[in-house]
Structure 1
Amino acid sequence: MRTRMHRGALALAAMTCLTACGGSDDVRGPAASAKDETPPHITACPAGVPATVTCYGGQDSQGAYYMIAKPANWSGILVMHAHGGPDLGAPSMERAQEDLTRWSIMPRAGYAWAGSTYRQGGVEVRAAAEDTERLRGIFREHVGKPTRTILHGQSWGAGVAAKGAEMFTRETVGERPYDGVLLTSGVLAGGTRSYDFRTDIRVVYQYLCQNHPRPNEPQYALNLGLPAGVTMSNAAIAARVNECLALDKPAAQRSAEQKLKIDTLVKVIKIPESAIQSHINWGTRHFQDISANRTGGASPFGNVGAVYTGSTDDAALNAGVLRYSADPAAYAKFAQDTDPTGKIPVPVVSTKWISDPTAFVELDAYFLQVMTRGGSADRLVQTFTTTGTHSYISDPTYPTLMNALLQWIEQGRKPTAASIASACAGQEAQFGAGCAFATDYYPQALETRVPARARPQ
């Protein structure tokens, strides 16, 4: 439970916010249009949300659906959630409800929560950040005025949150939109670096399997994902992968050749067998969305100069894989949309499961470099856990991180990995077991996991 000292700090924050954090008459950006937005309507809460919570739903003027949860014992803290993925299909209310179910820990901990589906599917970070900021305005205008607002990004949404915290500041918005940022399981090296290994898995897989595309099918540059206009479902991709690797069968039913190919992918790409299919899917369909819809038909990804190691014959592998250069204009456009600059003006706390197979822990090492270059390293505290999943670590993890972030904001007490780990034990009585912070862990450089390569200048 929240301590008496922390409740007092929240009350003090509420009083000081009347003058220090209050809104301005010069609010700009997506949140400024909130008065013209259709007010949200009270709706049934999805599964997992306590009965004491009031839920709201709606669709904003740009087409994004959203859900809002406001607890009866609202602390005054609003958590603006940027979800992961991204989905490639059209937005739907079901996605917003699923996000609230997964993150019901926030209203259970006394925080209001608001999450947008974004106006569109696909890999466009700035647009998603704008949709999240628009929803912040809708909450303030139609639901309540928070004393503090925390921007939470999960997975790909952590990149959205990092970019949104740079885009929307007191200087650009006319008020302070976000008091702090929470980044969990984040894809934090920007699009131009976070996805390099998916180019690698496509070319190594094709070297091994030669069926994506097949020799008798039209050939295309693999760094495009798929040619524009070509449709291929995840199930169709899986059929090809299983044809070559038999991932859908127990290991005992695979041939020696299939086992060797799987072992090669695991060792060269440095991912577990269980992650092969999903990364090939993303390196196909998400890459197609990027090249066809975001970067003018060219690819921002390349592997020229990448040296692959871990196979039984690395010389043959490196000589045999297809090589591609990133298109300079596509690279620049994708970087402008997705890459963080490290210029976040508020406290940031992050966490990552050390064995995360989707968003590698080494991405966090690169993010620290970016924050250092941007002059914000002193506003970043990174934590890591020894257990969890990519999608969700554990119930007590998130209230612990929120408390640490809020105390930093309100009292100026910058947390450490050790102080967060110690505080987590106190959350388990209310939220159950699940604390697993590693106090002395530091990730290695991204290049130790993903080979360095030539990049456009």
Structure 2
Amino acid sequence: MKPLRTLALVTLLAFSVACSRSAPAPTRPTPSSLTGKIGAATYAIEVPSGWNGTLFLYSHGYVAPGSANGAQAAPSGDARTWLLGHHFAIAGSSYSSTGWALEDAFKDQIALLDFFGSHLGKPRRVIAWGASLGGIVTAGLVQLHPGRFAAAMPLCGVLAGGIATWNAELDAAYAFKTLLAPGSALQLVHISDPDANRQLAGQLLNAAAATPQGKARLALVAAIIDLPGWFDPRLPEPAETEYAARVLAQIDWESRVDFNFAFGYRKEVEQRAGGNPSWNQGVDYGGLLAGSPDRPEVQALYSQAGLNLQTDVRALNAGATIKAEPTAAAYLDRFISFDGGLGVPVLSMHTTGDGLVIPPNETAYAQVVGVAGRQELLRQVFVHRAGHCTFTTAETIAAVQVLLQRLDTGRWDDAALEPAMLNATALAQGATANQFFGFALNPSFVTFKPPAYPRPFAKGSPIPT
């Protein structure tokens, strides 16, 4: 979900011509910078002087439906400078559409890779990488086209896959309406007017957040989908028992970020899929709460508010009757769920306080990779920070260097993946690289094990009918 500057700033502060042609050549003695269009998608390509033969193919994140959608060849200007300065080529497509654009993204990124090879020379190796929605695109590219890539690096990626992600959004929306606005006109699926639906959700949330009872129920909504109780990356994480601070952070995630998807952007997904791809029929919401690390917070806030938690859980279970339309769910399974059958090394990176693409996405991905017996190809690292994709350039470069070492040597250097080593590597990049949107941040790699994804879905799993 593109770390557009607008979305990244929200995350940070309350929380982003015709084709130029040249003759094919195996190397570029002078720098090349190309922009243009392939079909409906724009692209950006940069090849440095003395190109070393490696291409980083970048997949950008979510762009809200109808918003400006430019090509992006790197996650930041500083990352671009580092890659070009170390003689790596970079490229990226805008994709032909906005929203949940995975179908277009897969097609357009492969078309760009073909274009690069025919106009600038075939790369010696291609590394797929991308952030947020670009993380699921990255993992999807190496699942669908493993022979085209040498490695992959999904950043803050939606690695639980499309069905699991939109089921979680439905769970949050359903719990919110059932507990806090049962008589409202709020639409959970088949949304007719996304802007009006989002506005109504915001009004209802603001009213709920003004009372202890509303806050307790908003904490339950958050716990069902494992929203972190940490929002601002400039501030330290509230302690596990600082329930008042943690629920305010969860409300920030709900109001400023997540409800845009649950109550608004879902319409665009339904249009692509040809119907509602999500379901909650038969879901045990008590079981989801029991598996959430936020359960003690919910229990404490319910007690303080004088509410009966089990009564609310029973109400959620009793009304869980929403069914997916099979063809729509099949579309979201194609674009995309994961089978774990890795054919190339993958290094993923996630912040521990991400409330848009929750850290359990990494658990879901590791689980399917393990079931497929390909766990040796996967490594996952975490940065202790609030926010979605709030990595510094230095942290990103530190991870890139480990992945490059894996390609050069044929094995993972697990010592280099230890948090202390990654932090030292990041710190060595200097003060400018250790910033996010102008705020100085210390390198913060940490040992972390996310909980299980609330409702995972592996490719090939049955879709209820």
Normalized against structure 2, the TM-score is what? 0.73
Equivalent residue number for residue 314 of structure 1: 309
Contact 1:39/1:138, CA 8 A, preserved across alignment: no
Shift of 1:130: 1.7
Equivalent residue number for residue 291 of structure 1: 270
Aligned equivalent of 1:117, options 69, 77, 94 = 94
Contact 2:20/2:35, CA 8 A, preserved across alignment: no
Paired letter, 1:38: C
Equivalent residue number for residue 226 of structure 2: 270
Give the 4+ runs in structure 1 shifted more than 6 A.
none
Equivalent residue number for residue 442 of structure 1: 449
SS in structure 2 of the partner of residue 344 of structure 1: coil
Relative to structure 1, the CA distance from residue 141 to residue 163 in structure 2 (aligned partners, 3 Å threshold; closer, same or farther) is same
Contact 2:53/2:89, CA 8 A, preserved across alignment: yes
Contact 1:118/1:131, CA 8 A, preserved across alignment: yes
**1:340 has 2:302 as partner:** no
Shift of 1:298: 3.4
Aligned equivalent of 1:379, options 349, 360, 377 = 377
Normalized against structure 1, the TM-score is what? 0.74
Contact 2:106/2:141, CA 8 A, preserved across alignment: yes
CA offsets, 1:88-121, max 9 Å, x none?
Answer: 22763xx325x64635413323332211111112
Equivalent residue number for residue 406 of structure 2: 408
CA offsets, 1:194-233, max 9 Å, x none?
Answer: 232211111122123428x835xxx86x244x1xxx3332
Shift of 1:190: 1.0
Paired letter, 1:232: P
Equivalent residue number for residue 244 of structure 1: 204
Distance in 2 (alpha carbons) for counterparts of 1:338 and 1:302: 19
Contact 2:276/2:325, CA 8 A, preserved across alignment: yes
**1:96 has 2:71 as partner:** yes
Percent identity, aligned pairs only? Answer: 22
Contact 2:194/2:267, CA 8 A, preserved across alignment: no
Shift of 1:165: 0.7
Distance in 2 (alpha carbons) for counterparts of 1:388 and 1:73: 38
Distance in 2 (alpha carbons) for counterparts of 1:139 and 1:353: 32
Relative to structure 1, the CA distance from residue 239 to residue 160 in structure 2 (aligned partners, 3 Å threshold; closer, same or farther) is same
CA offsets, 1:126-185, max 9 Å, x none?
Answer: 431121111112222223443321000211221111111121133xxxxxx211101110
Relative to structure 1, the CA distance from residue 83 to residue 329 in structure 2 (aligned partners, 3 Å threshold; closer, same or farther) is same
CA RMSD, aligned part only?
Answer: 3.2
**1:186 has 2:157 as partner:** yes
Contact 1:185/1:359, CA 8 A, preserved across alignment: yes
Equivalent residue number for residue 231 of structure 2: none
Contact 2:133/2:157, CA 8 A, preserved across alignment: yes
Paired letter, 1:443: P
Distance in 2 (alpha carbons) for counterparts of 1:207 and 1:286: 20
Contact 2:351/2:389, CA 8 A, preserved across alignment: no
Shift of 1:394: 1.1
Paired letter, 1:106: R
Contact 2:168/2:455, CA 8 A, preserved across alignment: no
Gaps of at least 5 residues in structure 1 are 1-36, 42-51, 171-176
Equivalent residue number for residue 172 of structure 2: 201
Relative to structure 1, the CA distance from residue 104 to residue 58 in structure 2 (aligned partners, 3 Å threshold; closer, same or farther) is farther
Shift of 1:347: 0.8
SS in structure 1 of the partner of residue 429 of structure 2: helix
Give the length in aligned residue pairs: 382
Relative to structure 1, the CA distance from residue 316 to residue 423 in structure 2 (aligned partners, 3 Å threshold; closer, same or farther) is closer
**1:150 has 2:127 as partner:** yes
Relative to structure 1, the CA distance from residue 263 to residue 368 in structure 2 (aligned partners, 3 Å threshold; closer, same or farther) is closer
Contact 1:55/1:68, CA 8 A, preserved across alignment: yes
Shift of 1:332: 2.8
**1:56 has 2:42 as partner:** no
Aligned equivalent of 2:278, options 275, 293, 300 = 300
Paired letter, 1:275: W
Shift of 1:313: 2.8
Relative to structure 1, the CA distance from residue 337 to residue 424 in structure 2 (aligned partners, 3 Å threshold; closer, same or farther) is same
Shift of 1:414: 1.0
Contact 1:122/1:289, CA 8 A, preserved across alignment: yes
Equivalent residue number for residue 438 of structure 2: none
SS in structure 1 of the partner of residue 443 of structure 2: coil
Equivalent residue number for residue 174 of structure 1: none
Distance in 2 (alpha carbons) for counterparts of 1:417 and 1:326: 45
Gaps of at least 5 residues in structure 2 are 1-17, 23-29, 228-249, 290-297, 435-441
Distance in 2 (alpha carbons) for counterparts of 1:125 and 1:417: 35
Distance in 1 (alpha carbons) for counterparts of 2:202 and 2:125: 49
Equivalent residue number for residue 397 of structure 1: 395
SS in structure 2 of the partner of residue 430 of structure 1: coil
Distance in 2 (alpha carbons) for counterparts of 1:134 and 1:383: 30
Distance in 2 (alpha carbons) for counterparts of 1:366 and 1:417: 24
Contact 1:291/1:300, CA 8 A, preserved across alignment: no
